[in-house]
Amino acid sequence: MSQWLPIEQIARSVNSGELKAQDLVKQSLKSISDNKDFDAIISTLEDNALKRASEIDKSVATGKTAGRLAGVPFIAKDNFLVFGADTTAASNILRGFQAPYQATAINKLEAEGAICVAKANLDAFAHGTSTENSDFMTTKNPHDKARVPGGSSGGSAAAVVLDMAPFALGTDTGGSIRQPASFSGCVGYKPTYGLVSRSGVVAMASSTDVIGPLARTVEDAAIVLDVMSGKDPLDGTTIEKQDGYVNASGDLKGLKVGVIKEYMKEGLSDGVRQVIEEAVSKLKAGGAEISEVSLPSIDMALAVYYIICPAEVSSNLARYDGQRFGYSDPEATTLEASYKLSRGHGFGKEAKRRIMIGTYVLSSGYYDAYYKKAQIVRTKLINEFETALKNVDFLIGPVAPTTAFKIGENISDPLKMYLCDIMTVAANMIGNPAISIPAGLSENLPVGLQVMAGKSKDKELLGVSKQIEEILA
Amino acid sequence: MSPPPTKLLLCLPSLLEHSKLKTIHLIAKRCAKIRLIMAKLSRDDILKLALLARLDLTDEEIEEFTVELSEVLQYVELLQSVDTDGLKPTNQVSGLTNVTREDEEIDYGYDPHDLLKNLPAVEGDLIKVKRMIN
């Protein structure tokens, strides 16, 4: 049983004075300290959080209300710029970096009374599927300490499952919210591309990066999304939000749901297959019209991703040059040497790997064969999804081919690690919303069910997800 | 010989088992040989990329990257087998074009001193860098 009430109830109780924001922050900080050995948290914002909580309590005492998230503690992945703590992106090169401004998402949450209590671990710069690429530490899976929590938002997922806060923030570039949600056992929501401002979040692959919540329930995730989303002048790619993310309702009866054929093929582990097949049967029993849908190019999504993502990474990480912020190598005597040494010594291996791949696929003579080809296959993927979603309302399948793997199992083989993203990257390449909902356990390890919807159908996806969550519970 | 079969990719999740991974690598390598681009990177290629990307790499990293990056590139080369006739590239998926705003000064409230706080080296309010020419 979670120590946290549903978010809506927490806020209501804080606004009525029944609960004190200060007690909620203390409760969250205690839970963080009690679970220290899971290495989910990079830093806490104790002073700032308690100060904000006391302000909220005082404001409520004078008869004011403090917003839709009044007093609700949360944990941000450490690639969000937040006042009061370093923003490291779990990288040595950004160690000690202090945010001169805050992420729009954080500002919006704070404006509704939410309180950031801590920053969560991730694969450095969000490059990875296990948090093993963090330059600081590997987070442990809440269900089995010998296993990874998933990644890159592994610290955020573990924090939610370990009950450190009612919700956490993550970023999803190729599956980094959904895959750890599946491995650790919580809800992970990847919104439509552009729905949440990326301003103040360390950039990875700008054409696929999205920000989303990890929470205990779909409704909690929906409230957080509702607060964070919408157009932002600081991010030119943001789109208008829609009404009705909160209390969205959906009826499974008569709903057309397509099971993605390619995701259920050989390669899917038996345990995951069993949980997913059971979930599909339950949806069918709940009245959904289940069919099998083939997306022939979906298997190419990972190859598309591992060209486009490193290409954008190599460009976004060019700003870490050792001059304006971040690590600057003390041995360098010339500017050129300072670039090379600061980057060479400051970046971890995976960041360097991706910068190198990105540099290669964008270089003269290879651009058309790799980068342009990937962008064209991306179009093909978009077309196939559009066609499929004309015939069905939602697409479902597993989030990942396996449950959480052991720490160290894949670390020596980058390609093998990349393959963990095989079922999540498609949603990022096409920009559509997708969610991971806890579907059950396989050998005591969580398995998530992935549900995908048409572009900007976030309200519909949240509505049906609540139905699915209920049926699978 | 025909281009690499798409079947190869359909069984890719099974790569999560290491024994199968090796088999697939062999197939991927075999397929790579029959294609126009052969993504077998040499030590010199890695050095050139490292120079372009301004990365100082250790000998160990150079060796590792030569193998690992070749493998990743061989994998992504599977895209060459996809028929994309008549399709245009997708650069972004937001559906927005030409996002502009009024050309006016906006005060975001940033304190320049907060921005300077993160600088590795400053002189007064200026960024201090190492000399540019030898």
What's the one-letter identity of residue A299?
D
Q: How far is B53 from chain A (nearest CA, A)?
A: 7
pLDDT of residue B3: 38
Q: What are phi and psi of A257, to 5 degrees?
A: -120, 125
Residue B30: is its pLDDT beyond 60?
no
Mean pLDDT, range A50-63, rounded to an integer: 97
Count of all residues that appear for chain B in the document = 134
Residue B16: is its pLDDT beyond 80?
no
A290 versus B134: the higher-pLDDT residue is: A290
pLDDT of residue B38: 53
Distance set, CA B104 to CA A222, B107, B112 (Å): 35, 10, 20
Given CB atoms, is B1 within the 8 Å cutoff of chain A?
no
Q: How far is B109 from chain A (nearest CA, A)?
A: 9
What dotted CATH number matches A7-228?
3.90.1300.10
pLDDT of residue A107: 98
Residue B21: is its pLDDT beyond 80?
no
pLDDT of residue A440: 98
In the set A176, A199, A338, A436, the catalytic residue is A176
What's the one-letter identity of residue A74?
F
Residue A247 to residue A281: CA distance in whole angstroms: 26
Mean pLDDT, range B120-128, rounded to an integer: 91
What's the one-letter identity of residue A311?
A
Task: Summarize pLDDT for A152-173 with one digit per residue, the tens.
Answer: 999 999 999 999 999 999 999 9
A349 is catalytic: no
Given CB atoms, is A408 within the 8 Å cutoff of chain B?
no
Per-residue pLDDT band at A263 (split at 50, 70, 90): very high
pLDDT of residue B27: 47
Residue in B68, B87, B88 nearest the CB of A353: B68
A454 versus A100: the higher-pLDDT residue is: A454
Distance set, CA A426 to CA A211, A301, A410 (Å): 16, 5, 22
Cis status, amide bond into A342, omega within 30 of 0: no
Residue B111: is its pLDDT beyond 90?
no
In the set A152, A153, A156, A182, the catalytic residue is A152
What's the one-letter identity of residue A343?
R
Mean pLDDT, range A360-372, rounded to an integer: 93
pLDDT of residue B39: 67
Residue B37: is its pLDDT beyond 90?
no
pLDDT of residue A250: 85
Residue-range domain boundaries for chain B: 7-81
| Nearest one of A206, A198, A194, A190 to A106, comparing CA atoms | A198
What letter would DSSP give residue A336?
H
Q: How far is A349 from chain B (nearest CA, A)?
A: 8
A77 is catalytic: yes
Given CB atoms, is A419 within the 8 Å cutoff of chain B?
yes
- What string of DSSP letters covers A212-274? EEEESSHHHHHHHHHHHBS-BTTBTT-----S-STT-----TT-EEEEEGGGGSTTS-HHHHH
Chain A, residues 97-126, CB within 8 A of chain B, namely 97-98, 100-101
Per-residue pLDDT band at B86 (split at 50, 70, 90): very high
Residue B13: is its pLDDT beyond 50?
no
Given CB atoms, is B130 within the 8 Å cutoff of chain A?
yes
Residue B105: is its pLDDT beyond 80?
yes
Mean pLDDT, range B74-94, rounded to an integer: 93
The SS3 call for residue A314 is helix
